[in-house]
A and B are shown apart, each in its own frame.
Chain A
Amino acid sequence: MKKMGKGSSKKRLRKLRPSRKLYFQYYAMAIVLILFMIFIKYSGRSLNDFAFRIVLYFIIAIIIVTEIHRFGESYHLTTSSVILNTGYFGILSKRMEFEAISDIQILQSPWQRLLNFGDVQLFKFGPGPTMKNINRPNAFVNELEEIITRAKAGDHDEV
């Protein structure tokens, strides 16, 4: 087996964040309120200014809070490892070399199955770090396996 060069092992292939599908119920609340306001407007009823402002602030708050929450976690795939970063100001960074990965497990609740996202847990002969709320986890795991296979075969050296 070829050993990977030092420079190429650092090359980032992909960056991921938790899927926005995680916040589906929050977005649904905002959409319901917007649709309700549109219905009121088109049914010829008056829409209270104060209520309109509350809805506006609520929607803005939902967008800001969910985006901030989402920015708390990020995952990087390099040619030789997976890096899981957690935190906002202080960051906890876990790195797992492909060589060390023995298994990959997908965890999906019924809700996550319905919306096609889920957690991907890496195993190092024992439970390892989990990449939470990944969009289309099956496709992602296939891609990850491919990258791992190529990395183990040393293909990235040639890139």
Chain B
Amino acid sequence: MEQKEVEAVLTKPKRKHRWMLMLVGTFLFIFLFIFYTSFVNPNFGKTITGNVISDNAASGVSVNANLNPPENFLVDSKIDKIDMKVKGAFSVDGKIYDISSASVVIDNFDGKVSFTDEKLIVDGKTNKIFIEGIPISGKIEVNFDNKYSYLKLSNFYMSSFGYPASGIVRLQDDRVAVNLKSEAFRVKKFNGDLEKRGKIFRLDGFAEEAQAGLINVKNTDEE
């Protein structure tokens, strides 16, 4: 009797290999991403993390302004460091500190800072605060609504800011110097430091666009 030969094709299931490939691909992607963001382009992706610092602003038009203070100012951003001298009681993590005058330093602040000539309002979160040099660490909520004599914000970002100002504005590494007399001063996508002491108001950093009176300098103008 003739026997029929049956040919069967046996294939290995490839699912496990597919998973392994996907995992190795993900691992390589993450590894290269860390390498790129730490070694090649450290500023990459800061907008994703909420530290909203654009590449253009960091290497944009340099702004150094020494002006009269604006009537009011508001910024909602991550701020590397806030240095201030306040008067009266304030609240840190729900605890009231009733000190007549205190020197306060806040590291890694995330929240709102606003001020007028008289008052300073700081409302946000931080992980480290120094009150008269005494450190407090942890997840801390800070609320200040006080009179103040000094304020410095280090490394913060604001998308837009402007007011009619008087004083000296230096742009593009002192290549442009403008003496304003109640004329328009405006910066867009600014990243840098701010200092306010009495009638002194200083801005020092980089912006994508800066206007001082009739002079308007954009980051692209340099190229």
Which residues of A are interface residues toward B (Cβ below 8 A)? 26, 29, 32-33, 36-37, 40, 45-51, 54-55, 58
Q: Mark B17-40, 1 if CB is under 8 A from A, else 0.
A: 000000110110011011101110
Complex contacts, B46 vs chain A, CB 8 Å: 48-49
**A50 contacts B42, C-beta separation under 8 Å:** no
Give the most central of A40, A49, A51, A55: most B CB within 10 Å.
A51
- In the complex, 29 of the A-B residue pairs with CB atoms within 8 angstroms, ordered by the A residue number, are A26-B23, A29-B23, A32-B31, A33-B27, A33-B31, A36-B31, A36-B34, A36-B35, A40-B38, A45-B38, A45-B42, A46-B42, A47-B37, A47-B38, A48-B37, A48-B38, A48-B42, A48-B49, A49-B49, A49-B50, A50-B37, A50-B48, A50-B49, A51-B33, A51-B34, A51-B38, A51-B45, A54-B33, A58-B27
Q: Mark B37-57, 1 if CB is under 8 A from A, else 0.
A: 111001011101111000000
CA distance A55 to B27 in the complex (A): 9
Which residues of B are interface residues toward A (Cβ below 8 A)? 23-24, 26-27, 30-31, 33-35, 37-39, 42, 44-46, 48-51
Which single member of B26, B35, B44 contacts A58 (CB below 8 Å)?
B26
Q: Nearest-CB distance from A69 to chain B (Å)?
A: 10
CA distance A49 to B37 in the complex (A): 10
Give the most central of A32, A37, A50: most B CB within 10 Å.
A50
CA distance A48 to B27 in the complex (A): 16
CA distance A26 to B24 in the complex (A): 9
**Would you call the interface of chain B mostly helix, strand, loop, or mixed?**
helix
With A36-B31, A40-B38, A55-B34 as given contacts, are A48 and B26 in contact (CB-CB < 8 Å)?
no
Closest 5 CB pairs of A and B: A48-B37, A49-B49, A29-B27, A51-B34, A45-B38
**A54 contacts B30, C-beta separation under 8 Å:** yes
Complex contacts, A45 vs chain B, CB 8 Å: 38-39, 42
B39 (CB) vs chain A CBs: closest residue: A45
Complex contacts, B34 vs chain A, CB 8 Å: 33, 36-37, 40, 47-48, 51, 55
Complex contacts, A32 vs chain B, CB 8 Å: 27, 31
Q: Nearest-CB distance from A60 to chain B (Å)?
A: 13
Complex contacts, B30 vs chain A, CB 8 Å: 33, 51, 54-55, 58
**B39 contacts A48, C-beta separation under 8 Å:** no
**A51 contacts B27, C-beta separation under 8 Å:** no
A26 (CB) vs chain B CBs: closest residue: B23
Q: Nearest-CB distance from B58 to chain A (Å)?
A: 13
Q: Nearest-CB distance from A92 to chain B (Å)?
A: 18
Which single member of A26, A29, A37, A48 contacts B44 (CB below 8 Å)?
A48
Complex contacts, B49 vs chain A, CB 8 Å: 48-50
CA distance A75 to B30 in the complex (A): 36
Complex contacts, B39 vs chain A, CB 8 Å: 45
